[in-house]
Amino acid sequence: MVEIASEMVLRLADDASVQHVGDGAVVLLARSGQLYTCNGTTEAFLDKVDGARSLDQIVDLLSDEFEVDKHMLDQDMAALAAELVTEGILADPGA
């Protein structure tokens, strides 16, 4: 799995689009046609991925939004980001 450092800037992959539906979201990867469903946490995370914010900045925003301790979110969001890179939803920060 990809290691995601807190200072890495994250962005959606070029062929990924996020659509909000009900209490979550779906992500479509246009190249493969794959469709992923997201829970509310992943949706909130993806809403903050803009190609300008680092993982650390995104975690700051999420900790304020959900009133959760930032330290508790750090590892979970790094793992989520790594999974999304592996699935091709986020662009590989090292690429």
For residues 23 and 40, is the Cβ–Cβ distance under 8 A? yes
Residue 23 makes CB contacts below 8 A (sequence gap 6+) with 40
Please write the tens of the pLDDT for every residue from 47-86: 999 999 999 999 999 999 998 888 889 999 999 999 999 9
Please write the tens of the pLDDT for every residue from 24-53: 899 999 999 999 999 999 999 999 999 999
CATH superfamily of 16-87: Coenzyme PQQ synthesis protein D (PqqD) (1.10.10.1150)
Q: What is the pLDDT of residue 95?
A: 61
What does pTM read for this prediction? 0.91
Token duo for residue 47 = 């809403």
